[in-house]
Structure 1
């Protein structure tokens, strides 16, 4: 099994009290059951991006998940073979945290087309459970696309 590199961007909303210093875990993957699981994402912090001026990067180490900030994390994990179609976050601790969106970019230039679209949260995360979205295996219906839910426990 080979490993690939990913750049995960997570935006924290500007709502008062949206930030957290608690541990955040991340789980994402593709429709072919390739999954990347990162416990304690906080320790993988790469840099902070100013959302108003994204070209200005701040490489000074700071606490991630502060209000009105976009944090980037460089992670290693199992390689995906199809586009990333699900992403879940898990908050462990007593803080409230309100992420706005998250996105995963595949850093291999030959696989960059497998990067995810944005996953939107925009609400306070429940504590100690996986919370996120999945857009794998769409079913075509007369009313448009309907996405099936993954048959895994959300509380693991």
Structure 2
């Protein structure tokens, strides 16, 4: 395969795969889950994977909040359900969540309360007006605080990179090498 064809293929794969946020999660400094606007009703599919470094099962209570840069926020209290084996080690759980309509999702926070120390792997969110976005945790979520990612106020966060940005970086690097 010619180098230019490889570059084109890589860019295509990265562009259709949606954005994956590569960074470290952090505690929310001023996050308020009660600031929910009611701008219509939309459906979201959220896939939460549990890290293989998590306990085998959890009794922790898990809540989720996500939204866009315009103040549209979706809040899902108590996603956990010990009777259904939700959030077991090395597993994925899919939720259909209804909430206010949002544009491009740019933040997600998880809230964990309980004795087990659940460790999320990734949170992937699909919305009606938003490209799918994946937030990679793979870190212990501290108890009783909102913990996650917020990239709404900046196009490029100093510790983050989306795959679409990575594909552009690869393209420039490979083209430079070819010249």
TM-score (structure 2 length as normaliser): 0.61
Structure 1 CA distance for aligned equivalents of residues 56 and 109 of structure 2: 18
Q: Which runs of no fewer than 5 residues in structure 2 stay unpaired? A: 1-38, 159-179
Structure 2 CA distance for aligned equivalents of residues 120 and 88 of structure 1: 12
Are 2:115 and 1:104 equivalent residues in the alignment? no
Aligned residue for 1:125?
Answer: 141
Are 2:116 and 1:64 equivalent residues in the alignment? no
Which consecutive segments of 4 or more residues in structure 1 shift more than 6 A?
Answer: none
- The structure that has the greater radius of gyration is 2
> Is contact 2:54-2:120 (8 Å) kept?
no
Q: Which runs of no fewer than 5 residues in structure 1 stay unpaired? A: 44-60, 140-144, 148-156
> Is contact 2:55-2:88 (8 Å) kept?
no
Query: What is the root-mean-square deviation of aligned Cα atoms in Å?
Result: 2.0
Q: Which has the higher contact order (CA 8 A, sep 6+)?
A: 2
> Residues 120 and 19 from structure 1, CA distance in 2 versus in 1: closer, same or farther, beyond 3 angstroms?
farther
Structure 1 CA distance for aligned equivalents of residues 77 and 45 of structure 2: 15
TM-score (structure 1 length as normaliser): 0.70
Aligned residue for 1:146?
Answer: 157
